[in-house]
Amino acid sequence: MPNPEQSQFLEACQASLKDGTFKRVVLSRKTSEAGGGKYRASFDLVVGGKKRFVDFSDTIVSEPQRSALDVDALLAQMEQAPIFPFQSAVLFTESHDFHYAENRKGHPRVYRAKASMKGVSQDHNRAKNYVLNAKRPYLKGLGVTSDKGEVIKKQYGKFRQIANFVEIIDRDIGDHVAGSDGPISMLDLGCGKGYLTFAAYDYLRSRAKTEPRATGIDIKKNVIDLCNSLSDRLGFDGLTFQNDRIEQDKPVDLDILIALHACDTATDDALALGLRSNMQFFFCAPCCQAQIAAQILAKGTDSGSDFDLISQFPLMRRREADVVTDVARALLLQSFGYAVKFLEFTPLEHTLKNVMLAGRRDDSVDRDKALAEYRQLKKAVGFEVHALEENTRDLRG
């Protein structure tokens, strides 16, 4: 039987489905799988003329399943295994988000939050810039899809991450790729197994006028060997992988920089290399905040700064450092003439590490204003050293 808070959450789902404000619901719970597995399920409303459908997907099925909307049947499914008993859930509606969460002791609570899908179209006929084809050969080579070109059920989250990334770059660099007469150069620093390197290269290759030149760099030799072998098998002549470290003081020919979750200050090393290489576009999922966090900890909670009110709580201090680190990076990049934005890279139900910092060269950016705001942030928070600032002092002239 649902506990009172679960019942309240389900009632909110029912109400939004009946009044037409329902957008999406995501529910999850821990499983008994080795290593602490997690089961997730989602229901997305899809509107087609006068009809309404629901797309259901979870960590078991390999492809979303569409069915006509039946409110009672949908609610009954939420109250049955494998979804129930869910331990966390988010209901997205036109007017607000509604959360159900259990703490480490299993104590539940529900709360409302600002609507994150307000105004989002759910018309199944709406135009999409790019939809990743699951039958692309590199996906099979990386173990994301089967021999039949179907997404393997345990890899569905990875497939959605790759698809989301390709849609982001399509939106941001699609016109540049289509209009470029020369070969486009791309560098992926900290590429890991190369999921996104292959995806970005495949996207460029399918749309550019000439063969792109792309390089993935990582310190793990085994994955580099795997990626080079796959690239050779696929005939990706312009894609190579190198077993190396980021050398931020050695500029290269570069149009597009990718640096996703490079640890410690490697994100700043990557961005510094991009700046020295006069990159045109960058896509960065930044990590980590340790450098700023240590400085916030060292200054204590009686420095006289308004941020002391946040720093007195250890967990919030880490989150403060996370936000400050990334905003500082954005301001520094603006000070070098880049238009910068923050994006949701991976949906929150998959990971909390879902922030992407993306940008492009833009001569209209007010560099002096951005640099002044960065210095204002340093003073307000009380940190002295930021790796990206240190790595680019020589570029200030």
Domains in the chain with CATH codes: 4-114 (no CATH), 137-396 (3.40.50.150)
pLDDT at 126: 45
| φ, ψ for residue 325, nearest 5 deg | -60, -45
Report yes or no: 125 and 65 within 8 Å, Cβ to Cβ.
Answer: no
277-297 pLDDT tens trace:
999 999 988 665 667 767 766
* For residue 206, pLDDT beyond 90: no
pLDDT at 285: 80
* For residue 301, pLDDT beyond 60: no
| Parallel, antiparallel or unpaired: strands 38-48 and 213-218 | unpaired
Which whole number is the average pLDDT over 307-319? 67
The mean of the pLDDT values for the chain is 85
Lowest mean pLDDT segment, chosen from 250-254, 303-307, 336-340, 376-380: 303-307
Which whole number is the average pLDDT over 203-227? 92
Q: Please give the C-alpha separations between residue 86 and each of 17, 39, 110, 186, 234, in angstroms, as whole numbers.
A: 19, 9, 13, 42, 42
pLDDT at 145: 94
* For residue 51, pLDDT beyond 60: yes
Which has more pLDDT, 263 or 87?
87
| Model confidence, pTM | 0.65
Nearest to 235 by CA among 324, 144, 137: 137
Give percent above pLDDT 70 in the chain: 83
- Give the DSSP H or E segment for 290: helix 290-299
